[in-house]
Amino acid sequence: MKCEVVTTRGGARAVLDHETGEVMHPVVGPLVESRRLYVDPSRLAERLAEPAAEPLVLLDVGLGAGSNALAAWRVSEALPPDARRLRIVSFDRTADALALALEHAGDFALDGAPGVAAHALLAHGSHDTPRTTWRFCPGELPDSLSSEAAEAADIVYWDPFSPRANPTLWTLTAFRALRRLCRAGCTVHTYSGATATRSALLLAGFYVGVGVPIGEEKHSTYAAVSPSDVQNPLDARWLERVRRSSAPFPSDAPSDALAQLERSPQFAGAGRA
Ligand SMILES: C[S@@+](CC[C@H](N)C(=O)[O-])C[C@H]1O[C@@H](n2cnc3c(N)ncnc32)[C@H](O)[C@@H]1O
């Protein structure tokens, strides 16, 4: 991966990938965006505070410069020793962006313990503390998801590049592979609010809602295995927009995708707006 550290319009430091021309966390920079789009909406701190014998499992899809994973890692490390443990599994074809961020440790808040964890991940593929396990799963997505156990994930941060740059990661095939890994109570968080992304998640069997604002009239997306975990569900008005949209579905949607959406548990009975 050919990448360099750049300064965003907002003045934050972030990694630019030259192959796709895309910046990781381009809006307000990685340190703020990871919290606002991923860690806070997933209620990570609250969920780790709920007692449970098993660790909470977080799938970090698109390790990149490690900003989302490390934002979660910091939350876990700041909790008392008896809080639920966190297990992070990061997926990517390369760890080059994380290695670059480590060379600019001051810009990415990678001095101290988070930097130690990131160096260990690069050197050994994993890092453990008494509270947090972090493992790197290298390989090509979405196939690399198949190495994980079914119904093991509690939270997913889905953060590839855009559909233009990473078309295979916004397909029904990709979200079906993800759905296999999610257990009851699992929530999925992604910056994309595209109609085709939301359709793909619904067709893959998730309940889907509107996430936090990410810019002018744009919102992220929140998906869940259980309907009660979606606070702001897509409604009949959204389905009406699908009917009018010029790009309503992922590239691998079946020919009866609209009928499948209308029959899906989220919309069955809602009728036309
Ligand atoms: C937007 S960046 C991730 C940023 C990261 N979440 C962070 O917080 O720094 C997208 C990442 O997805 C990875 N990626 C894109 N397509 C992939 C694929 N098909 N298989 C594996 N990794 C992929 C890229 O290498 C890149 O590191």
- Output the residue whose Cα is nearest ligand 1's atom 26: 64
Kindly report, residue by residue over 141-161, the tens digit of the pLDDT. 999 999 999 999 999 999 999
The finding on whether 34 has its CB within 6 A of some atom of ligand 1 is: yes
- Output the residue whose Cα is nearest ligand 1's atom 5: 64
Kindly report, residue by residue over 51-93, the tens digit of the pLDDT. 899 999 999 999 999 999 999 999 999 999 999 999 999 999 9
The finding on whether 193 has its CB within 6 A of some atom of ligand 1 is: no
Percent of the chain whose predicted confidence (pLDDT) is above 90: 88
240-249, long-range: CB within 8 Å, 24+ apart, which pairs? Answer: 240/272, 240/273, 241/195, 242/195, 242/199, 245/195, 247/194, 247/195, 247/196, 248/195, 248/196, 248/199, 249/196, 249/199, 249/200, 249/203
Q: Name the superfamily (CATH) of residues 26-263.
A: Vaccinia Virus protein VP39 (3.40.50.150)
- Put simply, whether the predicted model's pTM sits higher than 0.85 gets the answer yes
Residue 273 predicted with pLDDT over 70:
no
The finding on whether 118 has its CB within 6 A of some atom of ligand 1 is: no
